[in-house]
């Protein structure tokens, strides 16, 4: 495989338990499973009525207390949410790396007009105008022999405007889904990424993806490494091995952008999203993958 260096030169719990099966009636309490005692026969009906009137308030009170006695209210401190995303860290990563992320726009030339055919992402490799992206983002441009395809690279300027510059193809590795472009833009526009390694990645490690999903420039998503050494399809029908699985969202247009570690170093190239048949892309059923830097950026 051609290396890039070579190609470029807290909870409230309310629990209930059944009240003990006791019934309050006058001054008598009894277990409802036992035989109910008969009313005292020596009492006249009048005496019974007077006794009931005297104790009616107590009856209601005891009944209420008996009911409340069946409830257990347990108040516990609210635990901190298991936040997988450290906001301060995410902000640092974005501020460190976003200037290195570019957009890739493919156009078909028809009757002298350029018609948009798709967008992707990429990142600046050096200060000489080289940009790394996925091969599938520029596949039509790479195989065009009659000048019918154009690829432009969008760089966000100091005013926040995206300026597109023409690009030429320097090298490709279709089997590993990598392409290197040379962009005809002022060299002072180029802020190279910091390149890390995927060799020591661990499942559960925090990762961040920056790209241009659906054309929304410099979008940050975050997650963890969900798995390592995955095999995913390549653009030429073979398998690409060693891919990183992540739950950081990688949507259409994110392809070719950098997957970063907590030090804002590139550890992979965002490449693919698998969606379960019958579900909508962008749902919780999606599984996202990035090419490992050790395999593609060495």
Verify whether residue 5 is a known catalytic residue.
Answer: no
The Cα–Cα gap between 110 and 144 comes to 14
The Cα–Cα gap between 297 and 176 comes to 11
Verify whether residue 136 is a known catalytic residue.
Answer: yes
Report CA-CA distances (Å) from 78 to 16, 183, 289: 20, 53, 35
> Residue 188 gets which letter from DSSP?
G
Residue from 103, 217, 234, 255 carrying the catalytic annotation: 255
Do 132 and 269 meet the contact criterion of CB atoms below 8 Å apart? yes
Q: Give the burial string for 177-192 (b: 16+ CB within 10 Å, else e).
A: bbbbbbbebeeebbee
Verify whether residue 126 is a known catalytic residue.
Answer: no
220 dihedral zone (left: phi>0; alpha: psi -120 to 50; beta): beta
What is the token pair recorded at 63?
Answer: 């009944």
Burial (CB count <10 Å: 0-12, 13-18, 19+), residue 297: buried
Give the residue carrying structure tokens 């807290």. 10
Instruction: Write out the E strands in 61-192.
Output: 71-75, 101-110, 113-124, 130-133, 149-156, 162-173, 178-183
Do 250 and 221 meet the contact criterion of CB atoms below 8 Å apart? yes
Give the residue carrying structure tokens 């726009």. 105
The Cα–Cα gap between 156 and 98 comes to 10
Longest CA–CA span in the chain (Å) reads 116
Residue from 130, 136, 176, 288 carrying the catalytic annotation: 136
Other CB atoms within a 10 A radius of the CB of residue 2 amount to 14
Please identify every residue annotated as catalytic.
136, 177, 255
């Amino acid at each position: 495989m051609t290396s890039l260096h070579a190609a470029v030169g807290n909870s409230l719990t309310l629990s209930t338990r059944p009240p003990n099966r006791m019934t309050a009636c006058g001054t008598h309490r009894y277990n409802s499973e036992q035989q109910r005692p008969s009313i005292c026969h020596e009492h006249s009906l009048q005496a019974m009525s007077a006794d009931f009137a005297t104790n009616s308030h107590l009856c209601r009170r005891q009944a209420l207390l008996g009911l409340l006695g069946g409830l257990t209210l347990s108040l516990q401190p609210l635990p901190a949410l298991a936040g997988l995303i450290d906001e301060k860290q995410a902000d640092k990563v974005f501020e460190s790396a976003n200037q290195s992320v570019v957009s890739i726009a493919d156009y078909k030339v028809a009757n002298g007009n350029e018609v948009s055919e798709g967008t992707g992402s990429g990142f600046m490799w050096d200060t000489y105008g080289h940009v790394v992206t996925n091969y599938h983002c520029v596949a039509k441009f790479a195989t065009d022999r009659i000048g019918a395809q154009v690829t432009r690279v969008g760089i966000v300027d100091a005013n926040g405007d995206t300026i597109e510059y023409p690009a030429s193809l320097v090298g490709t590795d279709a089997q590993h889904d990598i392409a290197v472009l040379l962009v005809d833009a002022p060299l002072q526009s180029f802020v190279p990424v910091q390149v890390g390694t995927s060799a020591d990645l661990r499942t559960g490690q925090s990762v961040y993806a920056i790209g241009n999903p659906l054309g929304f420039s410099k979008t940050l998503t975050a997650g963890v490494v969900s798995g390592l050494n995955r095999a995913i399809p390549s653009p030429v029908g073979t398998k690409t091995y060693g891919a990183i699985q992540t739950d950081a969202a990688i949507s259409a247009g994110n392809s070719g952008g950098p997957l970063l570690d907590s030090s804002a170093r590139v550890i992979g190239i965002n490449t693919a999203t698998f969606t379960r048949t019958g579900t909508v892309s962008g749902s919780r059923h999606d599984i996202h993958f990035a090419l490992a830097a050790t395999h593609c950026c060495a």
